[in-house]
């Protein structure tokens, strides 16, 4: 694929081509925007059926094993448990629109309240590790591409391959073992809210954020390296340098912009991988985020909580992918054709 947009040597034909491409993007954007809610509807249905088919019985969960048949029947009638599946799904959707995800059984609080408490922790965790991993990946990837095939490249590439193969939750365990148990310089887990002071917050978050950043940075480094190497080998780069433009200016003006487009498309996909690692890292570091909520819900058999947390996770993932795709279109409109299939 030829990325025309920031190419310094644009002819008249190319400009026309770009205009045409930009017009062709609109159907794609609309299609993409229309698909997202439909996909989320499908996700809700899948979640609803999964929880419905599970052997967990909400009546037993609420009333206990010893409840008599009359009480059971009454509870089921009150909560509409005997209604046909489509009707129950409809009620579930109506509640969902009102942000009502039902009540947690064990902690007897609305699921939406629990999610409201947990979500900021997860967002902070992922945000902080993005803040760490993006510059690291851009820097290491560029350095490796710059020295392609030489020692620097080989060291960076090998380290990245190892880091990518390391399971995040295990890395978290090793981290705790080294920094909390052996050296005693960091807490072994737990969460301090930002309102308690930045240093205390950072001390509680830096471990999980670094562990989460490791895998993501490694995967991204390899993609930046490949993309950068391709870009640096292009004729226009040589022309620009030959014309007397200094390397920092050439890199900043065009090479970076072109070379970082390809990695952008995969960021959306990687965020999904990052979210699943985040679930486990939260559990390992005992952070009260969505992941911990989800896993606690599973261990307690509280499927309302599991369903709510999973729905929020899927919604976030779909939204991030939508935003990344649209952002990519803004930066490289001619890719729309490739994306319509």
Partner 1 sequence: MTAQSTLVSGFEADPPGRGFPPASRLRGPVAHWSALIVLLAMIVLLALPAIWTTSPTALDPSNALSPPSLDHPFGTDQVGRDIAARVLHGARLSALVAVASTLIALVAGGILGAAAATGPRWLSEIIMRVVDVGLAFPGILLAIVLAAAIGPHLSTTIIVLGVLFTPPMARVMRALVFKEYGEDYVLAARLTGTSRRRLVIFHISRNIALPVTVFITITMAEAIVAEAALSFIGAGIRPPAPSWGNIIRDGYTMISTGAWWISLFPGFAVLAAVFGLNRYSEMIGKHVRMR
Minimum distance from residue 329 beta carbon to partner 1 (Å): 18
Applying CB under 8 A, which of residues 8, 37, 42, 193 lies at the interface with partner 1? 42
Question: In terms of CB distance, is 32 or 132 closer to partner 1?
Answer: 32
Q: Determine, following the binding rule CB under 8 A, whether residue 266 of this chain makes contact with partner 1.
A: no
| HEC assignment per residue over the chain | CCCCCCCCCCCHHHHHHHHHHHHHHHHHHHHHHHHHHHHHHHHHHHHHHHHHHCCCCHHHHHHCCCCCHHHHHHHHHHCCCCCCHHHHHHHHHHHHHCCCCCECCCCCCEHHHHHHHHHHHHHHHHHHHHHHHHHHHHHHHHHHHHCCCCHHHHHHHHHHHHHHHCCHHHHHHHHHHHHHHHCCCCCCCCCCCHHHCHHHHHHHHHHHHHHHHHHHHHHHHHHHHHHHHHHHCCHHHHHHHHCCCCHHHHHHHHHHHHHCHHHHHHHHHHHHHHHHHHHHHHHHHCCCCHHHHHHHHHHCCCHHHHHHHHHHHHHHHHHHHHHHHHHHHHHCHHHHHHHCC
- Tell me which residues in 58-77 interact with partner 1 (CB under 8 A): none
Least Å from the CB of residue 197 to partner 1:
26
Q: Exactly one of 108, 195, 199, 299 binds partner 1 (CB under 8 A); which one? A: 299
Check binding of 248 to partner 1 (CB under 8 A). no
Q: Does 295 bind partner 1 (CB under 8 A)?
A: yes
CB of 51 to partner 1, least distance (A): 6
> Does 111 participate in binding partner 1 (rule CB under 8 A)?
no
Which of 174, 194, 202, 249 is the binder for partner 1 (CB under 8 A)? 174
Residue (222 or 240) nearer to partner 1, CB: 222
Q: Using the minimum distance from each CB to partner 1, give the nearer residue, 112 or 292.
A: 292
| Interface with partner 1: number of residues (CB under 8 A) | 55
- Given candidates 272, 326, 331, 339, which one binds partner 1 under the rule CB under 8 A? 272
The contact set with partner 1 (CB under 8 A) reads 35, 38-40, 42-43, 46-47, 50-51, 53-56, 161-162, 164-167, 169-170, 173-174, 176-177, 181-182, 188, 271-277, 279-280, 283-284, 294-295, 297-299, 301, 303, 306-307, 310, 313-314, 316-318
């Amino acid at each position: 694929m030829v990325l025309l947009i920031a190419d310094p040597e644009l002819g008249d034909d190319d400009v026309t081509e770009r205009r045409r491409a930009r017009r062709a993007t609109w159907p794609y954007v609309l299609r993409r925007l229309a698909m997202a809610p439909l996909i989320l509807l499908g996700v809700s249905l899948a979640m609803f059926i999964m929880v419905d088919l599970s052997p967990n019985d909400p009546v037993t969960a609420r009333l206990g094993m010893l409840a008599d048949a009359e009480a059971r029947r009454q509870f089921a009638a009150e909560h509409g448990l005997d209604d046909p599946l489509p009707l129950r799904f409809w009620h579930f959707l109506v509640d969902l629109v009102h942000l009502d995800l039902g009540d947690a059984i064990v902690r007897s609080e609305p699921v939406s309240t629990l999610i409201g408490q947990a979500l900021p922790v997860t967002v902070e965790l992922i945000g902080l590790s993005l803040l760490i991993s993006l510059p690291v990946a851009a820097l290491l990837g560029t350095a490796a591409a710059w020295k392609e095939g030489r020692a620097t490249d080989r060291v960076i590439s090998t380290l990245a391959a190892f880091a990518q193969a390391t399971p995040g939750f295990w890395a978290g365990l090793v981290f705790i073992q080294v920094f909390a148990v052996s050296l005693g310089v960091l807490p072994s887990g737990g969460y301090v809210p930002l309102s308690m002071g930045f240093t205390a917050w950072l001390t509680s978050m830096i471990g999980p954020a670094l562990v989460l950043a490791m895998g993501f940075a490694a995967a991204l480094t390899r993609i930046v390296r490949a993309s950068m190497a391709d870009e640096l080998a292009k004729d226009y780069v040589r022309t620009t340098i030959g014309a007397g433009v200094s390397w920092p200016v050439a890199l900043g003006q065009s090479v970076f912009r072109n070379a970082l487009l390809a990695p952008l498309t995969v960021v959306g996909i990687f965020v999904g991988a990052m979210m699943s690692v985040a679930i486990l890292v939260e559990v390992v570091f005992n952070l009260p985020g969505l992941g911990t909520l989800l896993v606690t819900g599973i261990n307690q058999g509280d499927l309302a909580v599991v369903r709510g947390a999973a729905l929020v996770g899927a919604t976030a993932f779909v939204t991030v992918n939508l935003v990344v795709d649209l952002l990519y279109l803004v930066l490289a409109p001619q890719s729309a054709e490739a994306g319509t299939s």
